[in-house]
Structure 1
Amino acid sequence: MDLLANASTTMPDVASWEFWLGVPFRVLLILVIAGVASAAIRLIIRRITRGIERGTRSRVVRKLDAGKAQWVQDAGLARERQVQRAKTVGSVLASVATLAVWAIALLMVISELGFNIAPVVASAGIAGVALSFGAQSLVKDYIAGIFMVAEDQLGIGDVVDLGEASGSVEEVGLRVTQVRDVQGTLWHVRNGEILRVGNSSQGWARAVLDVPLPYDGDLDAMTARLKDSLEDLKNDPEVGASVMGSPEVLGVESLTGESVTVRVTVKTAPSQQWAVSRAMRVKVKKMLDREGLSVPLLNQTVVRGSAGPYGQAAEAGAPGTAPAEPGSADPRSATTGSQGAPERG
């Protein structure tokens, strides 16, 4: 009988406008606002990712033109890669934002239905504090990864220097960047630990070579011959396509009693400066051989002899040593010139 009585009193309430304008209306309003907020956030994230895609830097890539290798600006490959990365970041941000919006909406709906959500909010707050302490490095890595992707600091295939690790980038993630060095070691670097990025694959590079020349030679003539020998670098079958400019002799870099060091630079394609530097050394060596020049050697003095009680060479006349004969060289010592060669009188 009580059940029938409650049903008889509830049905008129359900049929009244006051009932529908109460809790059901507020619940519906919460759901509508959550849907609109979720859609707006997704639209904002989509516009941000489009801005990231448009901000992609062009890469200089190697292409074959009529069977000949050439280095050209190519924004297509970089843009395609950046679009994929931007979509990845956008999907992650959209998922996190949508989850947060609907979680808040669910708590508000539960509160409108008359349930006490204070214990749930308190538990969530405690869990959030514990999670923030335990996963702060993880959050730091993800935030750093998002900015690295947004700013196009590096990409797959780029040659980079990240401080402790340097080499070619094989994978760029939101948390970890993978770099393989010249010895084949694959480094997993957390994005939050990357304080600086040196990218050798954006735009162009420069091969720098310091050439020591004889001190007593004609500097102007030697410099002219050095530059002439490197002018043919563009015709080199191996690295000629990687040379993007003429060699420049910057001048004297250092000066000693044995040599004059001259610095030579050549503008190259990105990540090709090491190969060009090796070819430059070969041409410099051949030029020196043709001109009869040699790289100056540092003068050295080497003293050989039996060590004394405190690690010093024993002197003539010291106890336990035989005096040297007049007119003969001391067999315990020899003064040498350049790298062990006997000095010339």
Structure 2
Amino acid sequence: MASWEFWLGIPARILLILLIAGVASAAIRLIIHRIVRGIERGTRSRVIRKLDSGAARWVEDAGLARQRQAQRAKTVGSVLASVATLAVWAIALLMIVSELGFNIAPVIASAGIAGVALSFGAQSLVKDYLSGIFMVAEDQLGIGDVVDLGEATGTVEDVGLRVTQVRDVQGTLWHVRNGEILRVGNSSQGWARAVLDVPLPYDADLDSMTTLLRQTLAGIKHDPDVGEYVLDDPEVWGVESLTGESVTVRVVVKTAPAQQWAVSRVLRVKVKKMLDQHGLSVPLLNQTMVRGGTAKDLYGGGGAGTSAGAASEDG
């Protein structure tokens, strides 16, 4: 029969190793679970389309985004927990083998050499996975978002830990490695803004034209095509640039995410019809404005002149 000294020796140390491994594994899982919960709470709201009495309207809603983010976060958390648990129990197994009297130095040396080799060969792969984990954790993009990743711009179709798939406006599906993504421009988080610069004739009355623009674009919220995407009344911010040919006035409209381009197209049509109704036209860029004299006075003779306020095209 074994003595107490035996049971307090190797078996006790093995039991202690198993106990420490179990506690460490549970603690790591708890930490990862809390991190996942924090990611879920930190998800930003998105503007989504809802039907109210049969009419569509766009409202901020964090529920859908949080549900999607929670699913992705749980997936990543599950992978991390599995990897961490495997690492903890692998270390515990090596320690138990060492306690049983086996020489594990060659095994550790071989594992070290293999680890160095893998670190050189798979460093880009590790970079892709780490970048993918942080992209999911920080909610930088999600499936259905319209994003600008630098080389690829379009709608996100799939987000993986290594590769993100983006389909552009021409239908090309781009596979972008997460480690190569240096910046993410997301047009689907919160809201967007349609920005339209309207060049007006230099001689036009600026106050009257600004009032006319406001009146013309005020009905954009009731437009049958894009009215549901408009979140606020159009704003005329004022003069954006000034040249000898034109005065450029900036008009902006707050819209639902990824709908600013459709709203901008309708705004251009309305501005074009407004100018036509009042007999105005967008000034040409390549022309010479002659004021207070004739072309002969300016150029020293030769060529046909024009009266004050007229313009002759340079060709």
TM-score, normalised on structure 2?
Answer: 0.90
**Aligned equivalents of 2:188 and 2:173: distance in 1?**
19
- Whether 1:173 and 2:160 are equivalent positions in the alignment is yes
User: How well do the aligned residues superpose, as a CA RMSD in angstroms?
Assistant: 1.9
- Whether 1:286 and 2:273 are equivalent positions in the alignment is yes
**Aligned equivalents of 2:5 and 2:121: distance in 1?**
49
TM-score, normalised on structure 1?
Answer: 0.82
Note if contact 2:166-2:173 (Cα within 8 Å) is conserved in structure 1.
Answer: yes
Q: Alpha-carbon deviations, 1:91-119, whole Å to 9, x = none? A: 11101101110110111011111111010
Letter in 2 for 1:42: R
Q: Which residue in the other structure is 2:294 paired with? A: none
| Residue among 257, 261, 267 paired with 2:248 | 261
Secondary structure in structure 2 of the residue aligned to 1:28? helix
| Residue among 132, 136, 148 paired with 1:145 | 132
Note if contact 1:298-1:338 (Cα within 8 Å) is conserved in structure 2.
Answer: no
Instruction: Provide the aligned length of Structure 1 versus Structure 2.
Output: 296
**1:299, distance to aligned residue in structure 2 (A):** 3.6
Letter in 2 for 1:129: V
Q: Which residue in the other structure is 2:282 paired with? A: 295
**Aligned equivalents of 1:192 and 1:339: distance in 2?**
51
Q: Which residue in the other structure is 1:78 paired with? A: 65
Letter in 1 for 2:199: P
Letter in 2 for 1:93: L
Letter in 2 for 1:52: I
| Residue among 198, 218, 224 paired with 1:237 | 224
Note if contact 1:297-1:339 (Cα within 8 Å) is conserved in structure 2.
Answer: no
| Residue among 33, 37, 40 paired with 1:50 | 37
Q: Alpha-carbon deviations, 1:25-83, whole Å to 9, x = none? A: 21122112111111111111111111111111111001122221100111111111011
**Aligned equivalents of 2:146 and 2:170: distance in 1?**
14
Q: Alpha-carbon deviations, 1:131-171, whole Å to 9, x = none? A: 11111111111111111111111111111111111111111
Secondary structure in structure 1 of the residue aligned to 2:195? strand
Note if contact 1:250-1:265 (Cα within 8 Å) is conserved in structure 2.
Answer: yes
**Aligned equivalents of 1:300 and 1:254: distance in 2?**
17
Letter in 1 for 2:190: G
Q: Which residue in the other structure is 1:191 paired with? A: 178
- Whether 1:126 and 2:149 are equivalent positions in the alignment is no
| Residue among 85, 92, 98 paired with 1:98 | 85
Note if contact 2:230-2:254 (Cα within 8 Å) is conserved in structure 1.
Answer: yes
**Aligned equivalents of 2:149 and 2:314: distance in 1?**
39
Structure 1: 5+ residue runs without aligned partners?
A: 1-11, 302-328, 330-335, 341-345
Structure with greater Cα Rg: 1
- Whether 1:159 and 2:150 are equivalent positions in the alignment is no
**Aligned equivalents of 1:94 and 1:207: distance in 2?**
44
Cα distance change of structure 1 residues 33 and 185 upon mapping to structure 2, 3 Å threshold: same
User: For 1:303-322, what aligned pairs fall within 5 Å after superposition?
Assistant: none
- Percentage identity across aligned positions? 83
Structure 2: 5+ residue runs without aligned partners?
A: 289-303, 305-310
**Aligned equivalents of 1:18 and 1:255: distance in 2?**
94
Secondary structure in structure 2 of the residue aligned to 1:251? strand
